[in-house]
């Protein structure tokens, strides 16, 4: 615990030191990382091979999923993609020190609001070793310190990647502890108590894991425990759009958080829409679970599906399974989404603009989608480049989070001997509070 | 507990309902509150009188401070000020639904980022009944629901004020539970566990109280436990500016969080600066506590002061007491502030621009001040109108927080049947990611 505290303290020291180092050095370190990923490809693959060998028996025993094993496996082309990713982060404009606003308080007394890094960020991620590179490069670019905890199964891969990153920092005279690795679950537990040193936790992983983190720390958490996304097909939907959007939202990649888990269908069009939609799903191997009315509508067309249980309405399948419910009107759909959803991404399919606007205003989710698939809701598609995570909370950042979510701001007040006493009492000076178009 | 949960649930319902109600109705309710404060002044003063009578014996016994008693006491002019405050919040532009950014993802697929209220906010404040009106009006203007816990000693005053607010909501067809009062400490404790219903807690009060809240909830907290502010007088300071800034920062109103608690003096000018500064402080009744070198410098001028203990460097006096330390250079000042400060507001006094910029960049506080008093750091002086609180955390809001801190955003994606499948595979469409100057 004391060793860990020292380690985390030195992340904080590294963060504070970095504030006085030119942005160019951070860029140079990123270039170096990209180059070294390519130069050290054989060594990275060798380390990764060790991880794969150690993990294979666990896959055979069924303790680790095939999907996880796939994400763990690196290849020459995956490493090339990682280097390209670092390069593209390097090419972003320096996000630190940008002026968000400037206000004249009085003659010669100016208040700037400027972007600054957050501080020490702890991210915990699963088996994908490329996540280490992605997160490190975002943090270096934004002058944050980062503490990384990768999956145990990726331990050798993560170690060599972290060494490449830290060597690049050292060679560019940046504090090497700007990026640090921790390796045990015990460390994660202990880190959750260090709210005096860590400013933000970004957990990526299973629902249970993210919920555990959220419940067991006072440190702000950026992330989402679950992604229970809905599409609501309204009475005035263009059914062709509805077929293809609903198909895409479930089938195109069901294992991810922005895939639809529950389909809501307006009763006015349910008999017309459901049978054809159900056939498309069944042809694609989707298991359907409906409420009583959905089951009945489909039965009339000789389609037998399972009845959904109460748990189905708040469950994230991450799989080719879909629950379907008929709702009486849009109000019922909105109430259902606000009650059973996870504030991730929810959509409406309608040609009625007024209805769409009401839905958008009243659904309390971080992303609301009109006539498009929920699957668009991620950092890359939202134009953020690399993604830190997707936030379903209300505070700081919502929805797909990019490098902008690793920044906060600071107020800088520049005066010329100004004192508050002159602004009170009988001859009080008045504040001008005049917006200025001025940059820091 | 179950009753309380129901109460908080109905705040959440009120918040969700308000999303579909025109902003004009919220404005009308605010106008009505302002009118009723004036119309009901005699009744408000009568209720306040009851509180004052119940509190007087406690003041005599020394259980409640004179200062608190003063803040509890309302007057006709204080009530008029409250009404003017509500009016000025009413006159603000509607902060909800503003477009923060608009990005074209592809032809016909547009991503808007728009401001939305946060949800259910719980604020806990001390004896000042006018805080109830200020916070309620900010929350109504920004379409948030608010749960208020005022000081027990202000119970009668708070009840009549809350009734005025709730009546105004009802008369304007807004959900009356948009503003609710809770009254026991037990309720506060229980509310800290309701992270599924409450989105933000804003505690205002003593260090111990705010720390308790921060340590005992997973709900995001906006606020500050302590305000340990510094001024650093650099070698190249204009000493006349330094005298008046340092005097103002300590003496003008020492009971508040943005008053200076520790003065750092560069050794190069300490002999020149300290004796005269010390005399000004002593004339104003300030108790000085210095490190050994400060004590020695002043002793040479026949000024005897107490030596500071280790605790003095991290203590918020909120009183006419000041600790003073001599530092070897600016680096030592910065390290000291980052270690012993509370990230509230810290200043440098210097005519050297390069030094000032370095200090501003490296001091990790929410407000950094150059050649001005730390006392400027509050919502009113920063041009935010009414103040929700001052945040010393890194996440969501930093520094003085106004109505903008009661907002978050939501992504709205508008398509025309767009599906993700078209953007993958061999014939993948490319995203355009083109910024648009378009409003929602």
On whether any CB of chain A is under 8 Å from the CB of B214, the answer is yes
Q: Is residue A56 located within the same domain as residue A103? A: yes
Select from B218, B410, B420 the Cβ nearest to the Cβ of A248.
B420
3-state secondary structure at position A409: strand
Tokens 């000004």 belong to residue = B280
Rounded Cα–Cα distance for residues B179 and B438 (Å): 34
Looking at the partner chain, which of B19, B393, B420 has a beta carbon nearest the beta carbon of A361? Answer: B19
CB A97 within 8 A of CB A115: yes
Does B334 reside within a domain? yes
Q: pLDDT digit string (tens) for B192-244?
A: 999 999 999 999 888 888 999 988 999 999 988 899 999 999 999 999 999 99
Is the domain of B161 the same as that of B305? no
Chain A residue at shortest CA distance from B215: A218
User: Do both A280 and A336 map to the same domain?
Assistant: yes
Q: A44, A177 in Cβ contact below 8 A?
A: no
Model pLDDT, residue A301: 97
What per-residue confidence (pLDDT) applies to A206?
A: 84
The pair of structure tokens assigned to A153 is: 């199964």
A320: its two tokens: 């080719």
Residue partners of B106: CB distance under 8 A and separation at least 6: B418, B423, B429, B430, B431, B432
Query: Does A418 sit within 8 Å of B199, measured CB to CB?
Result: no
Whether residue B332 is found in the same domain as residue B200: no
Give the B window 302-361 contacts with A, CB below 8 Å: 338, 358, 360-361
B188, B124 Cβ separation under 8 angstroms:
yes
Bridge partners (DSSP) listed for residue A124: A149, A203
For residue B425, what pLDDT is reported?
86
The enclosing domain of A323 has a CATH number of: 3.40.309.10
Nearest CB partner across the interface for A398, out of B376, B408, B416: B408
So what's the pLDDT on residue A283?
98
Task: Name the residue in chain B with its Cα closest to that of A399.
Answer: B411
Nearest to A245 among B220, B369, B417 (CB): B417
What span, in angstroms and rounded, lies between the C-alpha atoms of B130 and A229?
Answer: 43
Rounded distance between C-alpha atoms, residue B293 and residue A105, angstroms: 38
Does A234 lie in the same domain as A210? no
Distance CA(B203)–CA(B125), nearest Å, equals 6
Mean pLDDT in residue range B378-386: 86
The reply to whether B259 and B291 lie within a common domain is: yes
Q: Flag whether pLDDT at B127 surpasses 80.
A: no
**Which of A332, A353, A376 marks a domain boundary?**
A376
CB A18 within 8 A of CB A143: yes
Q: Is A20 exposed, middle or buried (0-12, 13-18, 19+ CB in 10 A)?
A: exposed
Q: Would you say residue A425 lies in a domain?
A: no
Q: 3-state DSSP call for residue A11? A: helix
pTM of the complete model beyond 0.90? yes
Query: b/e string for B210-220 if b means 16 or more Cβ within 10 A?
Result: bebbbeebbbb
Nearest to B341 by CA among B371, B318, B314: B314
Provide the pLDDT for residue A440.
Answer: 86
Shortest distance between the Cα of A378 and any Cα of chain B, in A, equals 11
Nearest residue of chain B to residue A419 (CA atoms): B373
Instruction: Please indicate, yes or no, whether residues B115 and B163 belong to a single structural domain of this protein.
Output: yes
Q: Does residue B426 surpass a pLDDT of 90?
A: no
pLDDT the model gives residue A16: 96
* CATH value at residue B203: 3.40.605.10
Amino acid B386: pLDDT: 77
| Mean of the per-residue pLDDT values of chain B | 95
**Domain contains B414:** no
* C-alpha span between A75 and B386 (Å, rounded): 57
- The residue length of chain A stands at 440
Residue B382 to residue A419, Cβ atoms within 8 A: no
Could you tell me which residues are beta bridge partners of residue A321?
Answer: A287
Q: What are the φ/ψ torsions at residue A163 (nearest 5 degrees)?
A: -65, -40
CB-CB contact of A115 with A100 (8 Å):
yes
What pLDDT sits at residue B388? Answer: 87
Q: Are residues B31 and B160 in the same domain?
A: yes
Domain span at residue B14? 2-215
Q: Which residues pair with B418 in a beta bridge?
A: A372
Structure tokens given for B183 = 């009254």
d(CA B229, CA A197): 20
- The share of chain B scoring above pLDDT 70, in percent, equals 100
Q: Does A241 touch chain B (CB under 8 A)?
A: yes
* Tokens found for residue B118: 């946060």
Residue B431 lies in a domain: no
C-alpha distances in Å from residue B370, one per residue of A100, A105, A110, A112, B49: 19, 14, 10, 11, 45
Q: Is pLDDT of B95 > 80?
A: yes
Closest CA to A168 of A150, A187, A141: A141
Establish, for the pair of chains A and B, how many residue pairs have beta carbons separated by less than 8 Å: 237
The domain boundary, picked from A187, A215, A243, lies at: A215
Cβ neighbours, 10 Å, residue B209: 16
The vertex-A217 CA angle with A211 and A223, nearest 5°, equals: 45
| A144 falls within a domain | yes
Say yes or no for a CB contact (<8 Å) between B376 and A411. no
How near does any CA of chain A get to the CA of B50, in Å?
A: 31
ipTM tops 0.90:
yes
**Per-residue pLDDT tens listing for chain A (440 residues):** 689 999 999 999 999 999 999 999 999 999 999 999 999 999 999 999 999 999 999 999 988 888 889 889 999 999 999 999 999 999 999 999 999 999 999 999 999 999 999 999 999 987 789 999 999 999 999 999 999 999 889 999 999 999 999 999 999 999 999 999 998 889 999 999 999 999 999 998 888 889 999 889 999 999 988 999 999 999 999 999 999 999 999 999 999 999 999 999 999 999 999 999 999 999 999 999 999 999 999 999 999 999 999 999 999 999 999 999 999 999 999 999 999 999 999 999 999 999 999 999 999 999 999 999 999 999 889 988 778 889 999 988 999 998 989 999 999 999 999 999 999 888 999 999 999 999 98
Distance from CA of A374 to the nearest CA of B (A): 9
Residues B134 and B270 in one domain: no
Which of these three, A376, A410, A427, is where a domain ends? A376
Are A71 and A196 members of one domain?
yes
Identify whether A424 is part of a domain. Answer: no
- Indicate the SS3 state at residue A393: coil
Q: Both tokens of residue A440? A: 């820091």
Q: Is A419 left (phi over 0), alpha (psi -120 to 50) or beta?
A: beta
Do B248 and B347 form a contact (C-beta atoms < 8 A)?
no
Indicate the number of domains in chain A.
Answer: 2
Give the pLDDT of residue B2: 82
Q: So what's the pLDDT on residue B65?
A: 85
B398 inside 8 A of chain A by CB: yes
Residue B126 confidence (pLDDT): 78
């Amino acid at each position: 615990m004391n060793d860990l505290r020292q380690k985390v303290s030195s992340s904080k020291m590294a963060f504070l030191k970095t504030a006085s180092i030119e942005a160019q050095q951070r860029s140079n370190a990123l270039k170096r990382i990209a180059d070294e990923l390519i130069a050290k490809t054989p060594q990275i693959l060798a380390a990764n091979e060790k991880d794969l060998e150690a993990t294979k028996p666990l896959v055979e025993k069924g303790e680790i999923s095939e999907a996880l094993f796939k994400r763990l496996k690196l290849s020459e082309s995956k490493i090339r993609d990682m280097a390209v990713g670092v390069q593209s982060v390097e090419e972003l404009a320096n996000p630190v020190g940008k002026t968000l606003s400037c206000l004249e308080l009085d003659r010669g007394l100016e208040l700037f609001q400027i972007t600054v890094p957050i501080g020490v960020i702890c991210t915990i991620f699963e088996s994908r070793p490329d996540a280490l590179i992605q997160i490190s490069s975002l943090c270096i670019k934004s002058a944050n310190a980062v503490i990384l905890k990768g999956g145990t199964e990726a331990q050798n891969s993560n170690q060599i990647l972290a060494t490449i990153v830290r060597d690049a920092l050292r060679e560019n005279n940046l504090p090497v502890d700007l990026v640090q690795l921790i390796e045990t679950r015990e460390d994660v537990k202990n880190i959750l108590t260090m709210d005096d040193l860590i400013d933000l936790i970004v957990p990526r992983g299973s629902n249970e894991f993210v919920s555990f983190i959220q419940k067991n720390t006072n440190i702000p958490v950026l992330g989402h425990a679950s992604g229970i996304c809905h599409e609501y097909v309204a009475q005035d939907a263009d059914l062709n759009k509805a077929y293809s959007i609903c198909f895409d939202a479930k089938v195109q990649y069901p294992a991810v958080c922005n895939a639809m888990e529950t389909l809501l269908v307006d009763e006015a069009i349910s008999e017309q829409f459901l049978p054809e939609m159900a056939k498309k799903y069944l042809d694609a191997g989707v298991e359907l679970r409906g409420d009583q009315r959905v089951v009945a509508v489909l039965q009339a067309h000789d389609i037998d599906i399972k009845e959904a249980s109460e748990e189905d309405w708040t469950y994230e399948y991450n799989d080719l399974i879909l629950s379907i419910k008929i709702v009486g009107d849009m109000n019922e759909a909105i109430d259902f989404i606000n009650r059973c959803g996870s504030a991730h991404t929810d959509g409406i399919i309608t040609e009625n603009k007024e209805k769409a606007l009401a839905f958008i205003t009243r659904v309390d989710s971080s992303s609301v989608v009109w006539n498009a698939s929920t699957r668009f809701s991620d950092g890359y598609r939202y134009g953020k480049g690399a993604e830190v995570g997707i936030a379903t909370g209300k505070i700081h950042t919502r929805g797909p989070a990019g490098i902008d979510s690793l920044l906060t701001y600071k107020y800088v007040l520049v005066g010329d001997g100004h004192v508050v006493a002159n602004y009170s009492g009988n001859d009080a000076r008045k504040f001008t509070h005049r917006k200025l178009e001025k940059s820091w």
